[in-house]
Amino acid sequence: MNQMTPPPKIEIIPWNAPFSDAQRSWLNGFFAGLLSTNGAAPVSAEQGAAVLHGPTGEGDDGQAPWHDQTIPIADRMKLAEGRPLRKRMMAAMAQQDCGQCGYNCNDYSEAIASRAEARLNLCVPGGKETARMLKALHEELEKAPTPSPGAALSASVAVPAAAVQPGRSRDNPVAATFVSRCLLNKTGSQKETWHIDFDLNGCGLDYVVGDSFGIFARNELGLVDQIIALLGASHTIEVNGKTLREALTDDVSLSPAPDSLFELLSFITGGAKREKARALAQGDDPDGDAETLDVMAALQKFSGVRPHPEAFVEALEPLQPRLYSISSSHNATPGKLSLTVDCVRYVVGKRKRLGLASTFLAERIHPGDQVKVYVQKADGFALPQDPATPIIMIGPGTGIAPFRAFLLDRKATGAPGKNRLFFGHQRSDCDFFYAEELKAMKASGLLTRLSLAWSRDGDKKFYVQDRMREVGREVWTWLAEGACLYVCGDAKRMAKDVERALVDIVAQFGARTTDEAVLFVGELKKKGRFQQDVY
């Protein structure tokens, strides 16, 4: 295992005080900040990132200590206790600011609370937990008096400029042409990651590096037909002006079975089955298998209970688009757009499960096919304005995607700034994405430094942050020269671990205490010199 030294913690809150770990950690950071800065703002990096500039008052101090994707929802809700409804709604979001809902977490909750957004099921990483919590909080909203027209709860609600421009939001997709796919892993790899190319010439879309691409995928026909068979229906029966087969392929999610499906099943059956379906609809897990129940598994569990196709489709969630970091540069290859997509496949029991969009891109579309897409503008993830600014990019796995785009863009525009990439993956001989291209960039001088970390080449895991620590002095020198730092990839573990390594590097080579290093990294974030695109 990776031998990481966690930053020493300042413990001010007694261990036995009645707080969760997350609350205690936040309070320790808060008081440490007060003590070390004579009453100035709190200091931890999380807090740096968590300060909101929305309205304060009504129990809202403008902070969002729950804004950390690694804190479980129960702890996030505790941290938000006593805050206004819109802030508790924000705490219910998955805190990734991933943009899949079309907003960031704060703006999505503000939009719901101000009644500008009626959809409560848009937070993809939050899944059912978030949707359930939002539903409960929304009931409070429904009881509250309706604000007079124009009197929005908050001036900072950023309802997406949506719909206005075609192809610029999930609410107004356009059709792009799928061109080709190419496997990036070599024989022996345990991964299946595809380089995907689209042609944008037909739809006229453009983008800047750092943006993501939204894809509306279609469900796999085999799965659709098995579900139709379980319903005992004909696939040509009409539902909402389409055949049942079309509706199930194009319009609804067949992944986690929603509470509303269990509700429907409970209405049309009786006895123990009815009790079980009702329990599942309420978020209980009577048989310990709730996590594994996609739509088909739910129908199989309640075999013989056959909802009417129309009611069935109505009980399902709409199909959500998926976002992918763009791995090409419009400046380098106008009209062309590339993605780097890790294929999600896994087995539950005896059944193979397919990630919707990744397998759609990997095997269900063919060159020349039209796909519904949109460009999701990056929220604070972009090349520095000054092309001479050095950049440090940290992107293991598919995290390399936007950094390939950054490098291609800097090459196309002749940006003179130095470029440093930390890339890592499982094995050097089969998981080195874009190896030839990166080596050529290094040989040409575009890529000033390329640091690699292979987690499964040796006996012990070795990650990008371990490589960063090894060259910590250089990382510090680049930062001292004004470099911007970027992280892309896994949100749950990697991004946090990389940030911790950065704090250690700043402390060690920048001759700072850990608290000062945390403050330094927080300042980098506030100044836009430390940006993240994590999922």
Ligand X SMILES: Cc1cc2nc3c(=O)[nH]c(=O)nc-3n(C[C@H](O)[C@H](O)[C@H](O)COP(=O)(O)OP(=O)(O)OC[C@H]3O[C@@H](n4cnc5c(N)ncnc54)[C@H](O)[C@@H]3O)c2cc1C
Ligand Y SMILES: NC(=O)c1ccc[n+]([C@@H]2O[C@H](COP(=O)([O-])OP(=O)(O)OC[C@H]3O[C@@H](n4cnc5c(N)ncnc54)[C@H](OP(=O)(O)O)[C@@H]3O)[C@@H](O)[C@H]2O)c1
Residue 421 makes CB contacts below 8 A (sequence gap 6+) with 393, 394, 395, 400, 403, 407, 438, 447, 449, 450, 451
The nearest distance, CB 341 to ligand X, in angstroms, is 4
DSSP state string for 471-504 = THHHHHHHHHTT-EEEEEE-TTTHHHHHHHHHHH
DSSP code of 153?
Answer: S
Site for ligand Y in 183-212 (CB under 6 A): 191, 193
Q: Which helix (H) or strand (E) holds 37?
A: none
| Residue 341 found at the interface with ligand X (CB under 6 A) | yes
Q: Which stretch binds ligand Y (CB under 6 A): 139-147, 269-277, 288-296, 489-497?
A: 489-497
Q: 32: part of which helix (H) or strand (E)?
A: helix 21-36
- What are residue 375's DSSP bridge partners? 213
The reply to whether 357 sits near ligand X by the rule CB under 6 A is yes
Burial of 356 (0-12, 13-18, 19+ CB in 10 A): buried
Decide whether 419 or 455 has the Cβ nearer to ligand Y. 455
Q: Does 340 bind ligand X (CB under 6 A)?
A: yes
Structure tokens belonging to residue 253:
């999610």
* Nearest residue relative to ligand Y (C-beta): 397
**Does residue 463 bind ligand Y (CB under 6 A)?**
yes
Q: How far is the CB of 437 from ligand Y (least distance, A)?
A: 18
341 interacts with, out of ligand X, ligand Y, none, CB within 5 to 8 A per kind: ligand X
Report the SS3 class of residue 386: coil
Nearest to 59 by CA among 42, 77, 38, 84: 84
For the bound state, the minimum distance from the C-beta of residue 337 to ligand X, rounded and expressed in Å, comes to 12
Residue 461: contacted member of ligand Y, ligand X, none (CB under 5 to 8 Å, by partner type): ligand Y
Tell me the residue number closest to ligand X, measured at CB.
355
Q: Can residue 531 be called a binding residue for ligand X (CB under 6 A)?
A: no
Backbone angles phi, psi at 416, to 5 degrees: -85, -10
Binding of ligand Y at residue 397 (CB under 6 A)? yes
104 is an interface residue for ligand X by CB under 6 A: no
464 counts as binding ligand Y under rule CB under 6 A: yes
| 487 near ligand X, judged by CB under 6 A | no
Among the listed residues 76, 218, 301, 322, the single contact to ligand X using CB under 6 A: 322
Tokens found for residue 148: 């007079």
Nearest CA-CA partner of 46 in 24, 29, 28 = 29
**Binding residues among 241-260 for ligand X as defined by CB under 6 A:** 255
Verify binding: residue 44, ligand Y, rule CB under 6 A. Answer: no
212 binds ligand X (CB under 6 A): yes
Decide the pairing of beta strands 242-243 and 238-239. Answer: antiparallel
> Rule CB under 6 A: which residues touch ligand Y?
191, 193, 342, 396-399, 424-426, 455-456, 461, 463-465, 489-490, 493-494, 497, 535
Residues in contact with ligand X by CB under 6 A are 98-100, 212, 255, 322-325, 340-342, 344, 346, 355-358, 398, 401, 533, 535
